[in-house]
Structure 1
């Protein structure tokens, strides 16, 4: 019975939560995907990858519930005996629906350096990403933000790369 009451209270709190998503507010956040992601390439068969990434973002609410800002990211991937590190930088837009869930998109200019198989080789590409998530409000202006993400990359030696994953973020709104 205690578990049922606890779950009902959590649902009520999440459903009633209103974030600091008013026009003129700021958003600072960090997110990461941990462990394993599955990536498919149209042109080449490559093993699945273990992956770590960290992305930091800062945004401004242009109107109520609509934030725009910049992302800076770092990604390290290992595929079998090969791997690479990637740096990303670019704009994002995120729309909040009553503080209960959000939808967003971003574009990043990226630079990838091969770190195991062919050290020193750098490739440049673009990365278009889409996200959908649900902020879990800890207090009025702090949230843990799990989200599903889908991304498409193209550029130097990258032919139609697609990525799907789960990220966990942490954001402060003020």
Structure 2
């Protein structure tokens, strides 16, 4: 192969690579609107059945400021309940949690239909958790403060303008004030991954 043919081949390869990248990228100017939903249920038998269930929903809206890079805002609401089979009269009210804040999301598309994504979010959070202080007395605990989280996931596009995403947990930091305590603050940093954290989402991409 002479030099002229080699240069021609390299030019074609470079052009093909650039075209493939352009085709798989989610272009700047795209608007996304969607959310995720999840449900988990866990049962323990300790002489009685203790069932813990949780429902999660998280709508979001974003705008791609560059190819494959979006900024936006999301809301995350969850409600969970624990029931005890032998003591139905002592079942507590549902524990609830609310998070709202901005996010930055990056997509790494491996093909036109499949890719990885990472979501970095932060914002305000508030939760309500009823708990027992003794077998017959309950206490309602409220926590409010801020959070930061990094959530990896995968995304699949069955059609160009609609994507299905999935994740199995996150790496996060929380800092909250606890009530009814007048001065207690709690900070947590750690990872939470597993099938009980499985969450699916669907997003429309306008302008893709």
Q: Same fold (TM over 0.5)?
A: yes
Distance in 2 (CA, whole Å) between partners of 1:21 and 1:28 is 14
Aligned CA distance change for structure 1 residues 115 and 161 (closer, same or farther; 3 Å) = farther
Asked if 1:32 is matched to 2:40, the reply is: no
Asked if 1:67 is matched to 2:70, the reply is: yes
- Residues 10-159 of structure 1 aligned to structure 2 (within 5 Å): 21-36=26-41, 49-79=52-82, 81-82=91-92, 83-98=94-109, 100-114=115-129, 117-119=138-140, 121-150=141-170, 151-157=172-178, 158-159=186-187
Cα offsets for 1:111-164 (capped at 9, x unmatched): 112356435x53202222211111111211101111232133221234426433
Secondary structure of the 1:156 match is strand
Cα offsets for 1:90-130 (capped at 9, x unmatched): 011110112511111111311112356435x5320222221
* C-alpha contact (below 8 Å) 2:25/2:67 kept by paired residues: no
Distance in 1 (CA, whole Å) between partners of 2:123 and 2:55 is 17
Higher-RCO chain (CA-CA 8 Å, sequence separation at least 6): 1
Distance in 1 (CA, whole Å) between partners of 2:153 and 2:64 is 18
Secondary structure of the 2:27 match is coil
5+ residue gaps, structure 2, are 1-20, 43-49, 84-90, 132-137, 179-185
Q: Larger C-alpha radius of gyration, 1 or 2?
A: 2
Q: Which residue of 1 aligns with 2:198?
A: 166
5+ residue gaps, structure 1, are 1-15, 38-46
Distance in 2 (CA, whole Å) between partners of 1:19 and 1:170 is 19
Distance in 1 (CA, whole Å) between partners of 2:99 and 2:63 is 20
136-145 vs 76-85, greater mean Cα deviation: 76-85
Aligned residues: 148
TM-score (norm 1): 0.72
Distance in 2 (CA, whole Å) between partners of 1:104 and 1:111 is 21
Shift of 1:72: 1.1
Secondary structure of the 1:21 match is coil
